[in-house]
Amino acid sequence: MAPRNEEESLSVERDVDVPEEKAAKQPRIDNGLSLRNQITAAPRQTRAWETFRAVGAPQFHVAPMVDQSELAFRMLCRNHGATAAYTPMIHSRLYAEGGDKFCDETFSTTVADRPLFVQFCANDPDVLVKAAKKVQATVDAMPADADGKRAGIDYVDLNLGCPQRIAKRGNYGAFLMDDLKLVSRIVKTATSTLSIPVSCKIRCFDSVEETVRYATMIVECGCSVLGVHGRTREQKDLTATRADWDKIKAVVDAVGSRVPVIANGNVRHYDDAIALMNYTGANGVMSAEGLLSDPALFGRRVRAGVASMTSVDEAMAQRTRYSEPDPSTAEPVGALWPASGTEGCDLLREYLELTREYATPMRMVRAHAHRMLGEWLKEFHDVRDKLVRCHGTPEEYRNQLLEVSDDLRACIVRTERDFPVEKLTDRALRRLEEAKELEERKAEAIRQQAAEESMLASL
């Protein structure tokens, strides 16, 4: 398994590792032009690389996140270094059969939202095709912008990695790993029917060998880009299990000459992303939880908020001075690193402005606000309580969140620190005091019992 940081110093982004025998590099596509029209007739694996090159060979991907990789958040991440993004997982049957209101709330995009992977969960090939064609028709009907550019979809992505109970009940995501014939049929049908390239995102089996066979099968069925999360479907707790970079590396070694591979797992900050690509040979990386805490993760060359420092080690040393133990050294995976200092407040303000431009349900806005500010809220409980009390219309809610962000900024500036120091709440302190009193009463009862036994023994 890969170490936490594979290299002592940060690397720079490397060129995409494409086999020499593949087609020459293609220019990035213009929005509004058909991707397939720009890819010349060629064997499938060559087309996969030509397509990937045509959309810019993106390295830094916003992972699909239910209710959290919506358009406004995708655009925030793109503003700060992300070069590709996935939509939240869309239920193919619900979308295919849904009315306009449901579909409009489920999927939205814009001209600048490229390259874009639209992710579906599915257990029926025909339903997936129907849903994908419907979302394509929606995008085709969108008007061009003032420059004549149009929105577009670059890949239809099949979710083969969701490990949650709802996926088990619905028989989709990682639970299709129990029916490889169905997986094969879905991928083959989609790739042979749709005009949009099909990508897949998978989890690993317990063994390297099974994982490699699974990835190879999917590629042979026509998958154009393969995303690999280095955990099994049983490993749902990210704080309990590190992603296995060796399994991802084995997949890259097996199929990386045929299709681009995007690695996923343990990307908490920028140097993790670079280390993951360097270790596995993957053509890109994706992050989910890391980006929720720091949407600018992919745009940073050193640890966030430590501009005067030249290495992550120095940043970690500063954090250690204020909080023990250092969360980044915890095992097995350590804590996520939030944006430092007041940067979380700045990112939230930028995100709130984007939600004015791109309509976003308030439940998503609320969740993002808590994640962007969350670590500091553990220190400033009064600000956290104010955040919890925010309510009202979308505009009222945004304005209240802006006030919360300004209050938190003032608190952070007064600390003269880049990192928060968690403080126990009054309730937590009371619980500790009660637990301490209980332990003292137990100890006293034991002492009394021992004294009584000693007295009886002396009679």
Q: Which residue has the tokens 């064609």?
A: 133
Domain positions in the chain: 36-301, 318-415
Omega into 27 within 30° of 0, i.e. cis?
A: no
| Annotated active-site residue in 77, 103, 121, 162 | 162
Which two tokens mark 318? 């500063």
Q: Count Cβ atoms below 10 Å from residue 9 Cβ, excluding itself.
A: 11
Identify whether 162 is a catalytic site residue. Answer: yes
- Residue 43 bridge partners (DSSP): none
Whether the pLDDT of residue 61 is over 70: the answer is: yes
Q: Which CATH superfamily is domain 36-301 in?
A: Aldolase class I (3.20.20.70)
Instruction: Answer positive or negative: Cα dihedral of 44, 49, 50, 56.
Output: positive
3-state secondary structure of 448: helix
Average pLDDT, the chain: 84
3-state secondary structure of 416: coil
- The radius of gyration of the chain from alpha carbons, rounded to an integer in Å, stands at 25
Query: What is the per-residue pLDDT for 75?
Result: 98
Query: What is the per-residue pLDDT for 241?
Result: 85
Q: How many residues does the chain have?
A: 459
Contact (CB, 8 A) for 122 and 173: no
Percent of the chain surpassing pLDDT 90: 66
Which candidate, 291, 244, 51, places its Cα nearest to that of 154? Answer: 51
203-245 tens-digit pLDDT: 999 999 999 999 999 999 999 999 999 999 999 887 788 999 9
Whether the pLDDT of residue 22 is over 80: the answer is: no
Burial label for 146, CB within 10 Å (0-12, 13-18, 19+), is: exposed
Mean pLDDT computed over 400-421: 91
308-367 tens-digit pLDDT: 223 334 434 433 433 333 333 333 334 555 677 799 999 999 999 999 999 999 999 999
Whether the pLDDT of residue 69 is over 70: the answer is: yes
Query: ∠ CA(269), CA(270), CA(273), 5° rounding?
Result: 95
Whether the pLDDT of residue 27 is over 50: the answer is: no
DSSP secondary-structure letter at 117? Answer: E
pLDDT band at 391 (very low <50, low <70, confident <90, very high): very high
Mean pLDDT computed over 117-123: 98
